[in-house]
Structure 1
Amino acid sequence: MDYSSLPNGEIMCIDMKCFYASCVAMLHGLDILKTPVAVVANFDQPGSIVLAASPLMREKFKVKTSSRRFEIPKHPDIKLFEPKMSFFIDMSMAITRLIAKYVPSDAIHVYSIDESFVDLSGINTLWGSPEEVAKEIQKAIYDQFRIPSAVGMGPNMLLAKLALDLEAKKTGFAKWTYNDVPTKLWPVRPLSEMWGIGRQMEAKLNAMGIQTVGGLANSDLNELENKFGIIGNQLYFHAWGVDLSTLGEPLVKNNALSFGKGQMLMKDYHTKNDIAVVALEMCEDVMKRTREAGYVGRTISFGLSYSKNAMTKGFHRSKTIDIPTNETLVMYKTCIELLDEFFAGEPARQLAVRISNLEPARSIQLDLFDEHKEKRQIIGHTMDAIRNRFGSVSLLRAVSYTKAGTAISRNSLVGGHLA
């Protein structure tokens, strides 16, 4: 691979270590490195997940992110807290403002609440080289907020992210160059250890005889493209450390616009009727965003993950309808058809709905055999306007007031957690 013409910047990817736990530790005057701290989604639910755990909590008590509350041992040293999402968001913004003291704001791309990319290329500061600036930013964040961080650096966003995930999260700081790709990236296995490769893609690549990132880099590009399309092309070049995206663009480009929503249920849902209630609420939210963006869609997807102790794997299926829509009940009806076809009767714990294959809403065609279609369009936009003005729970369907409904309880949440 000839890297001479490829981007060769100074990109930093910085991650706040156990961010939620660090924030609540700071709020309560605790030392995150010396105190076993865990942030639990909901104290009222024994099966509620651990959103963050301090290093000592992981090392001494074997409690990690995604553990369940009932798995946390009863010990006097352990400190448990519920999330304060509004505070976490404020802290994330404060950290971004601190970083902006070192670089222009347009050189910062906030990737998630606890992770950001920063372009240090060509930055001439009093702090020294890009590496020294990165370490000074780490020090400033810890001095001001008592939040430890890890930094990966590379010539592009991809290698900065890989340096972070594969090395810096263990050592605190790592800088990779293109020369490091064969020695540090190619040996990685299983493939899902590499950012951008999930379990399903890993299984497909394994079936082709590809077990390591090096095996992916030295596989046949045409074969990958024939099997996976543009994703195959991206996989191949990412295995070589090549990334042409600029700051702010997604590392994996996908031109297929869609609207979707996923929701972790706070209890097991055992019947299709109860699952359908939540599905309707989720369709309502997704279609509201679709209408407001001015789109209609043809392909509707529904996914369901079963409870931890279920004997069956979940499913994710899609169905393409003939006439594009942004109507809630059309999406809901299609989701229920998929639920009826693929539901295995096991208790459900997570749902996902999505609409894709979009086109502008002006392409909606009137149906000579559906005289109420135009009225439903008007009603949909009217309901959206009411909710925008008076709040999302000002106008609800009756099912949201049943025991299976979640819309009212989730109204006080931020990002699915306590505000």
Structure 2
Amino acid sequence: MKPLPNRKIACLDMRSFYASCAAAMEGLDVMEVPIAIVGNIERKGGVVLAASPPLKKRFGVTTGMRLYEIPDDPSIRLIEPKMQFYIDVSMELTRLLNRYVPKEAIHVYSIDESFVDFTGTEKLWGPLETLIFRIQDELYRQFELRSACGVGPNMLLSKLALDLEAKKTGIAYWTYEDVPEKLWPVAPLHKMWGIGKRVERTLEDMGIYSVGDLAHTPLENLEKKFGVMGNQLYYHAHGIDYSDLGSVLIEGQLSYGKGQTLLRDYTKTDEVLAVMLEMCEDTAMRARLAKKKGRTITLSFGYSKHALGGGFNRQKTLPEATNETMAIYRVCLELFETFHDGRPVRHISVSLSNLEEHDSFQLSLFEPMNWKQQKIGQVMDEIRVKYGSAAILRAVSVTPGGTAYRRNQLIGGHYK
């Protein structure tokens, strides 16, 4: 085994970021005033996107709840999101970090969370502990943002230190020696960064219930069950991550997809198919821009709660990989006609997995013009990248059921 990475990577997270930004705009104290950031205050079903600590503690309101679930109390402040403002603040946070490290040492993981490589900074700024305290102090004095920070020898351990300890204590330093004591007891498995509910269920079926169980499972067993991902699961359970800064999010991506919760129940087939085609378009574009193709296409539907909820998740694997919009759509149409039971639809998602490189191209005797369709798709992608996603749309997107044009007016799914 090659030597383990031993850098000084920090994962810095802004606590209650959205609520703190909103409080600063309104001249409020986020730690004293119960604040709810609601996607659409005009709709009773508007989603709570963020809640200040007092709102959580005093009223039990958490992210994901609906507007009608918030108590009718005059002390609660309801604020609609200002996504462009949040993005502007996030960019200013990155500029602050850039005063201490070069841009190459910063990886913005999300709007309120960044990885920073502080290796070697002690020559300029002194001990790392002192520098991190200084940065956290500046974040509060300049932006009124409280932060938490996890530090480790690689990206994985810094993120785990943040999620599992620093969010409670403010700052945490993890080393490889801490893994048996701090990481292995973690259960259930979805608390471990990188393990979702579906993988968790598969691992539990194998008799693996904690990270320690995972670490002591033979590598060959995990690789047989999960392939390359099994290798990653094994080494991550030991706190080992050889990725360069930011590459955890890029290398080894397992799928490309698009999902959307609709603003109303869709009951008409033509409207459902219009959105489904838009999802296929977005999915194909993401794969093409990454120079990837996929053989497995997955379609998921979520039915309206007024129709007792539920839905389906089905997939089909093709003999040849594709990233062509209409090829993906034809498979989704087949899955739709086979499994959709006619109930009102409220959520649609499409994904492309079982990936391979874009240049693994095979001429097909049955689709001799396939290369022309790929070229058309590439040209459309170039136009959208240069002029915006609404610069060129399919006709279905301007029909009553289409959503692409409206989504183009949003940032992060919300109005600017």
Q: Given the two structures, how large is their TM-score scaled by the length of structure 1?
A: 0.89
1:291-332 CA-to-partner distances (Å, cap 9, x unmatched) read 556665443222233445765644433323345544432222
- How many Å separate the matches in 1 of 2:368 and 2:240? 54
Is the Cα–Cα contact under 8 Å of residues 325 and 364 in structure 1 kept in the other structure? no
Whether 1:335 and 2:332 are equivalent positions in the alignment is yes
Q: For residues 69 and 231 of structure 1, what CA distance do their matches in structure 2 show?
A: 39
2:407 aligned partner: 410
How has the CA–CA distance of structure 1 residues 127 and 304 changed in structure 2, closer, same or farther, with 3 Å as cutoff? same
User: For the residues of structure 1 that align with 2:321 and 2:203, how far apart are their CA atoms?
Assistant: 34
User: Contact 1:37 / 1:78 at 8 angstroms: preserved in 2?
Assistant: yes
Unpaired runs of 5+ in structure 1?
none
Q: Is the 8 A contact 2:36 2:51 kept in 1?
A: yes
Aligned runs of 1:142-157 on 2, under 5 Å? 142-157=140-155
1:135 and 2:130 matched: no
Give deviations 1:31-61, integer Å, cap 9, x for gaps: 1111111211222332232111111111111
The answer as to whether partners of 2:302 and 2:309 remain within 8 angstroms in 1 is no
The superposition leaves residues 131-155 of structure 1 with CA deviations (integer Å, 9 ceiling, x where unpaired) of 2211211111111000111111112
Range with greater deviation from structure 2 (318-327 or 374-383)? 374-383
Partner of 2:265: 268
Q: 2:74 aligns with which of 73, 76, 81?
A: 76
CA–CA distance in structure 1, aligned partners of residues 160 and 93 of structure 2: 22
Q: How is 1:282-293 mapped onto 2 (pairs within 5 angstroms)?
A: 282-291=279-288
Identity across matched positions, percent: 52
C-alpha distance in 2, partners of 1:370/1:243? 43
The whole-number CA distance in structure 1 between the counterparts of 2:257 and 2:246 is 21
Letter in 2 for 1:53: A
Structure 1: distance between partners of 2:289 and 2:190: 36
Measured after TM superposition, the shift of residue 253 of structure 1 is 4.5
Aligned partners of 1:8 and 1:156 also within 8 Å: yes
Taking a change above 3 Å as real, the CA distance of residues 386 and 152 of structure 1, as seen in their structure-2 partners, is: closer
- Report the Cα offset of residue 81 of structure 1: 1.7
- Checking the alignment, whether the CA contact within 8 Å between 1:10 and 1:156 is kept in structure 2 is yes
The answer on 1:317 being equivalent to 2:311 is no
Change in Cα spacing, 1:193 to 1:309, as seen in structure 2 (3 Å) is farther
Deviations 1:229-287 (A, max 9, x none): 2222222221221112121211694165x542222222333454432221112222333
Distance 1:137-1:349 versus aligned 2 partners, 3 A rule: farther
Question: Relative to structure 1, is the Cα distance of residues 376 and 218 closer, same or farther in structure 2, using a 3 angstrom cutoff?
Answer: closer
Name the structure 1 match of 2:23. Answer: 25
**2:169 alignment partner, one of 151, 168, 171:** 171
Structure 1 pair 364–135 and aligned structure 2 pair: CA distance change class (3 A)? same
State the partner residue of 1:65. Answer: 63
Confirm whether residue 41 of structure 1 aligns to residue 39 of structure 2.
yes
Superposed, 1:351-362 pairs within 5 Å as 351-356=348-353, 357-360=355-358
Aligned-partner SS, 1:223: helix
Alpha-carbon distance in structure 1 between the residues aligned to 2:4 and 2:372 = 54
Written as runs of structure 1 = structure 2, the 5 A alignment for 1:228-239 is: 228-239=226-237
Unaligned runs of 5+ in 2: none
Match status 1:102 vs 2:100: yes
Structure 1 residue aligned with 2:160:
162
Separation of aligned partners in 2, 1:213 and 1:382:
46
Aligned length: 415
2:9 touches 2:155 (CA, 8 Å); kept in 1? yes
CA RMSD of aligned residues (A): 2.8
Query: Structure 1 residues 159 and 375, CA, compared in 2 at 3 Å: closer, same or farther?
Result: closer
Superimposed CA distance per residue, residues 158-180 of structure 1 (whole angstroms, 9 cap, x where no aligned partner): 11111111111112111122222
Q: What amino acid is the match of 2:14?
A: M
Aligned partner of 2:11 in structure 1 is 13
Q: 1:323 to 1:62 in 2, by over 3 A?
A: same
Which amino acid in 1 is paired with 2:105? Answer: A
Residue in 1 that maps onto 2:178: 180
Contact conserved, 1:196 with 1:252, CA < 8 A, in 2? no
One-letter identity of the residue aligned with 2:138: A
- Output the amino acid matched with 1:221: L
Separation of aligned partners in 2, 1:289 and 1:189? 34
How far is 1:380 from its partner?
4.5
1: distance between equivalents of 2:217 and 2:321?
40
Change (3 A) 1:295 1:201: closer
2:206 paired residue number: 208
